[in-house]
Amino acid sequence: MKEFDEEALSQHDGKDGRPCYIAHGGRVIDVSASKLWKTGTHMKRHPAGTDLTSAIGAAPHQTDVLDKFPQVGIFKKKAAEPFLPAPLASLMERVPFLQRHPHPMVVHFPMVFSMMPFLFYLLYLVTGERSFEVTALHCLGAGILFIPPAIATGFLTWWVNYQAKPMKPVRIKIYASFILLAATVATFLWRILSGNAFAAWGDESRIYLFLLFAIAALVSVIGFFGGGLTFPTEKK
């Protein structure tokens, strides 16, 4: 039976009339007859012409669905060159938790704590309820605590999932994340040092509201590009 490596398998990606092959468990399977693979991509996430052993193992269906399609070859994966720095690889071996993609576990906290200060301060300005203003400040402080872990685990995921390849969405996320951290720290310190200067509507409160809005907008941009990496949309 014919043997395929990554390069040979990639030539059968289901595009432009080419056959649609995928690899699973060392087998190369022709799924061209499946309607779910007619575009060369399954569920807008899994491209043909690649080894989908891990992806299919995490799929909601069982692997026996592949038995309906003919095996056309054997997949011989080349030995992968190490792409993680030695200290990072050693750390992941010592701390297995890091192998479970911790970035999705922590990234939602800074997103929430970065968006809510604007809403709570706006509620304070509308209602005059002091607790809303205090809650906005507390959310800013919590954001300062959670943004660094999100950045650190984001770098880890970039190394593990994408081999630290230069990617425009990742570059935007990196720059925006450090700007977000700096803006959050500066806004938090300004609010602390200003005391009750923001209690009444004035120039300081207008600037403060604008900064909180900018922080919320910035974290939305970061989330947008992160979502694009996790759930890419197929271009027609």
Contacts with 13 (C-beta within 8 Å, 6 or more apart), sequence order: 20, 40, 47, 48, 49
pLDDT class of 101 with cuts at 50, 70, 90: confident
Give kind and range of the element (H or E) at residue 22.
strand 21-24
pLDDT in tens, 64-76: 788 889 999 999 8
Contacts with 156 (C-beta within 8 Å, 6 or more apart), sequence order: 88, 98, 102, 103
The pLDDT score that the predictor gives to residue 203 is: 86
Q: Could you give the CA distance from residue 47 to residue 108 in angstroms, rounded to a whole number?
A: 28
Give kind and range of the element (H or E) at residue 175.
helix 168-194
Q: What is the 3-state secondary structure (H, E, C) of 46-90?
A: EECCCECHHHHHCCCCCHHHHHHCCEEEEECCCCCCCCCCHHHHH
Q: Could you give the CA distance from residue 26 to residue 64 in angstroms, rounded to a whole number?
A: 15
Poorest-pLDDT segment among 93-102, 105-114, 153-162: 93-102
The pLDDT score that the predictor gives to residue 235 is: 46
The boundaries of every CATH 3.10.120.10 domain in the chain are: 3-75
| pLDDT (mean) for 97-121 | 88
Tokens representing residue 61 in the block: 């269906």
Residue type (1 letter), 75: F
> What is the value of pTM for the model shown?
0.64
Nearest of 72, 82, 80 to residue 19 by alpha carbon: 72
Residue type (1 letter), 94: R
Poorest-pLDDT segment among 97-101, 160-164, 191-195: 97-101
**Percent of the chain having pLDDT more than 70?**
89
pLDDT in tens, 30-80: 999 998 888 888 877 788 899 888 776 655 667 778 888 999 999 987 755
The b/e string for 153-184 (b: 16+ C-beta within 10 A; e otherwise) is bbebbbbbeeeeeeeeebebbeebbeebbebb
The pLDDT score that the predictor gives to residue 173 is: 95
Tokens representing residue 42 in the block: 């399954």
**Arithmetic mean of pLDDT over the chain:** 86
pLDDT class of 236 with cuts at 50, 70, 90: very low
The pLDDT score that the predictor gives to residue 220 is: 95
Pick the CATH number of 3-75 from 3.50.50.60, 3.40.50.970, 3.40.50.2300, 3.10.120.10: 3.10.120.10
The pLDDT score that the predictor gives to residue 94 is: 78
